[in-house]
Amino acid sequence: MKAVALQTKQVLGGACAALVLAATSPGAHAFDSCKVLLCLAGPWQSISECVPDVTEFLRCWSRGKCSLSCSQAGTVSWASSANCPPQYGLYEYDVYGQATLVGCTKSGVIDVNWQGMPNWTRVWWTMGGTEEPVIEYSDAARSLLGEHVNPQFDEDYATWLASQPKPADNCYLYGCSSH
């Protein structure tokens, strides 16, 4: 498993390095869209060739100044209550304590397709690039990337889940019988 994960990191890292060389021609944009999406498909935070381009893109896009255009890409969209993971939700509570999801603490999401697989990873980020992006991995991405998966998304979910109220003890309301 370690060998597969290391090989995957090397392949993604090598591909990123090749794209860096291709993207450094005079007059090139500050980042290359296909390179950014390729980086986002893997453990980009640990690939030195990826960090500057992904960071620059996130800052630029959050200000509405640029977009990604790559035929193999995915989609870039704003986060909303409709697509927000529960751990990043903004909730309103009624008088009975029932929560309604009304927004998202993340500003946007990038759905990255890789080798024809939609939603290989989903990168959740905040406006202005002031907060570290969080990566949600598909099962296939988890399997291939192994130990290179950044656990932050899962850790945030576990923290959120632990903070949720426990179901009410129905014995108080309905009585309990032991059999």
Number of structural domains found in the chain = 1
Residue 9 belongs to a domain: yes
- Start-end of H helices in 24-96: 33-40, 51-62
User: pLDDT tens digits for 19-29?
Assistant: 333 333 333 34
Per-residue confidence at 69, pLDDT binned at 50, 70, 90? confident
Higher pLDDT, 30 or 70: 70
127 domain-assigned? yes
The range of the structural domain enclosing residue 130 comes to 2-77+105-151
Under 8 Å between Cβ of 110 and 136: no
Judge whether 94 lies within some domain. no
Residue 52 lies in a domain: yes
What pLDDT sits at residue 10? 41
Question: Does residue 94 contact residue 63 with C-beta atoms inside 8 Å?
Answer: no
Tell me how far apart the alpha carbons of residues 149 and 29 are, in angstroms, rounded to a whole number: 29
Classify residue 66: in a domain, yes or no: yes
Residue 125: left (phi > 0), alpha (psi -120 to 50), or beta?
A: beta
The pLDDT mean for the chain works out to 75
**Residue 163 counted as domain residue:** no
**Res 26: pLDDT:** 31
pLDDT tens for 13-62 read 433 333 333 333 333 346 788 888 778 777 788 889 888 888 888 888 77
Residue with tokens 């893109």: 57
pTM (predicted TM-score): 0.63
DSSP conformation letters of 126-179: -GGG-S--EEEEPHHHHHHHGGGS-THHHHHHHHHHHHSPPPP-HHHHH-----
Is 96 a domain residue?
A: no
Note the pLDDT of residue 128.
Answer: 64
Specify if 68 maps to a domain. Answer: yes
> pLDDT class for 90, splitting at 50, 70, 90?
very high
* Model confidence pLDDT, tens digit, residues 113-167: 888 888 888 989 887 666 788 999 999 999 998 998 999 999 999 999 999 877 6
Helix 51-62 and helix 33-40, axial crossing angle in degrees, nearest 10: 110
